[in-house]
Structure 1
């Protein structure tokens, strides 16, 4: 009897460890028109994604399309993203305004203004705009503000888009761009390697946390941005995750995981992972956040240049 019980426990543990891990890749602040111009009117990130053959969701800030003199050119850049079969489009607010700071009326205006060009271009491709991601992932200072915003999004037929893994690529990108601007390729390579390593450590952490909490790996949603760093290193991260046998899924498929129907227990300014927001006990949440991987070297390097800025 004891032997049978041990075999049963072993089988359960094996099933959990071998369960399919999956992730949807999402990219915010598209299109990066400044980088597009700097790269001689070419999107290197887009070209790299073409070669990966995985689903991608992009979240658009239409303010990036610029003034009338460059609007048509940049609309064509946005269109070049939206025509691709592997791309799902999302609204990220016209000017990336933080709802926590602006209040409801300004938030509402930013959502509506941020869909005009995107919807026009998507209609040509027989696609729909169904997803919205809060800029800075700030969904309101309290439960009342959050409920008001979510009800508005639902009324406009938007799905509020969470994330579970985010590795501060924006911070790494500042260091990376600075190193490249200074011609310090060795420093740039170091920053890129740190970004890859940190991202993979976070995936390991949040996968282990999901197994601990839900007895299975949940469908992760990774958040990163349209920048030079990801043009050079997002393919590396994708290949490393493939080695770990991750399945790359669409945002639609990831959101079908029942975990994304979980109630939210956090209201406030912090834009951290939804895995923490689903935890009812605030003290447990804080404890788990303290256990999250960090990178003191990168943080120190960023703080040094931030002081100079």
Structure 2
């Protein structure tokens, strides 16, 4: 009887699946103008952080995909092979790569033609890097998740992407991990291990609250839990906290799947009804197509004030 009850409970559990994606590879804080030692080489501590992130993903068995900004492969006008080596290490770990434009442009701000040029520039090294492994770029992630504010530009861009072999990489679990990462980076500079530990612990709790929020919205809109797509960034915080976050997700019943697997769900073929100026979850976009009221979008968990202050950010 006990075994039958346990089997019945297990059968009634929702099918929780999640794809993990990372923006701003090879590393979020590697901006082209970043002053670096040794003629622009990657600092050793950054390489250490990158290795910890890759190791955490590999050890957790997460088939993650990272989205590359081409401009981060350059420093002071010079191409940096050591930055490409970070992408090589990512691929060697069995992880995937996609296009995030060359310069992280805002589609809403620069317009269609400039945005298309930046997408093609974004594959200058990505395409040959993947070709050496018998692969081609298949996924494109919009910077800021801003996808255009009028139907004509959005349709034209979707056609352009299809013609170049791309699919748009959606996100359902949006968050402000970049704020937490900025706070974490400040504690690294200050050598404040106590605050750093608190940040890691509270960050995992915050991320699980975000996941739970979008679970509820998925159930409200679709009547079931859609396979989620989580957006993170390649940064020091996730290098140190992902193992704990992965454990928390598994403890909540999640299985890690690829972006390809997650987006096979029919929900991802639903119309995107959002034409606003902000980046937002695809669950909210699908809700906009159904003209859901404002109450549907409320109640998102927010970043605590002490983290905002530590990061030096006024608001989310």
Structure 2 vs 1, CA of residues 33 and 217 (structure 1 numbering), >3 Å: closer, same or farther? closer
> Who is 1:24 aligned against?
19
TM alignment of 1:214-229, pairs within 5 A: 214-229=222-237
| Aligned residue pairs, count | 293
Using the size of structure 2 for normalisation, the TM-score is 0.86
Aligned residue number for residue 184 of structure 2? 176
TM-score (norm 1): 0.88
Residues 28-37 or 294-303, more deviating: 294-303
Q: Which residue of 1 aligns with 2:47?
A: 41
Q: Match of 2:160, SS?
A: helix
Shift of 1:286: 2.7
1:107 to 1:56, Cα distance in 2 relative to 1, 3 A: same
Per the alignment, residue 253 of structure 1 pairs with 261
Asked if 1:75 corresponds to 2:87, the answer is no
Unaligned runs of 5+ in 1: 1-12
The 1:129/1:48 distance shift into structure 2, 3 A limit, reads: same
Q: By percentage of residues, which structure has more helix?
A: 1
Greater mean deviation of Cα atoms: 13-22 or 261-270: 13-22
Q: CA RMSD in A?
A: 2.3
User: What SS does structure 2 have at the residue aligned with 1:58?
Assistant: strand
Q: Unpaired runs of 5+ in structure 2?
A: 1-7, 31-41
Query: 1:38 deviation in Å?
Result: 4.2
Please report how far the alpha carbon of residue 83 of structure 1 lies from its aligned counterpart in structure 2 after TM superposition: 3.0
| Closer/same/farther in 2, CA of residues 236 and 114 from structure 1, 3 Å limit | same
Q: Which moved more, 1:142-151 or 1:105-114?
A: 142-151
Q: 1:163 — aligned with what? A: 171
Paired residue secondary structure (2:20): strand
Distance 1:284 1:38 in 2: 49
Conserved? CA contact 1:82–1:121, under 8 Å: no
Correspondences of 1:223-242 after superposition (within 5 Å): 223-242=231-250
Change (3 A) 1:129 1:73: same
C-alpha distance in structure 1 between counterparts of 2:309 and 2:249, whole Å: 27
Structure 2 counterpart of 1:306: 313
Q: What aligned pairs does 1:58-207 form with structure 2 within 5 A after superposition? A: 58-67=66-75, 69=78, 71-85=80-94, 87-207=95-215
